[in-house]
Amino acid sequence: MAIQRTFSIIKPDATRRNLTGAINARLEAAGLRIVAQKRIFLTGEQAGVFYAVHKDRPFYEELCAFMSSAPIVVQVLEGEDAIAKNREVMGATNPADAAEGTIRKEFALSVGENSVHGSDGPETAAAEIAYFFSGLELVG
């Protein structure tokens, strides 16, 4: 498997509880390299654009309000098979279903406030990275 890049977010429930370092340690221990990172505060509108794929879901408004309720940390992760590897270390969407040792099992509060986001495929990874980072910010 080739070296890939994926997009990651440390969500408001985690930044509020000062878990950025703890989550980054999990990512790095899994073999993922944080090649770009910044702390930002999304507007509701920006969150809505990012999660537009979910706009018809009943939780969309709640999700956008949550994602714009506190700062988030947006990241680009690099490594062998990085997209799948990150999904594995994140764990299932609902922490009740997440495997032992995953970030969501340990830190997530609920299916909505689940601490991290990770791209689900190469096309979404490329689009999500481009939404938040310029080429100049991807320093490797």
Minimum CB separation from ligand GDP for residue 136, in Å? 28
Minimum CB separation from ligand GDP for residue 117, in Å? 5
Residue 63 makes contact with ligand GDP by CB under 6 A: yes
With respect to ligand GDP, which residue has the nearer C-beta, 85 or 117? 117
CB contact at 8 A, 73 and 42: no
Residue 131 makes contact with ligand GDP by CB under 6 A: no
From 11, 85, 104, 117, active-site residue: 117
Q: State which of residues 43, 52, 59, 101 lies at the interface with ligand GDP (CB under 6 A).
A: 59
130's CB contacts (< 8 A; 6+ apart) are none
With respect to ligand GDP, which residue has the nearer C-beta, 49 or 137? 49
Beta strands in the chain (DSSP E): 3-10, 33-40, 72-80, 116-118
Chain residues 101-120 in contact with ligand GDP, contact rule CB under 6 A: 111-112, 114, 117, 120
- Rounded Cα distance between 8 and 125, Å, is 9
Annotated active-site residue 54? The verdict is no
What angle separates helix 20-29 from helix 82-90, to the nearest 10 degrees? 130
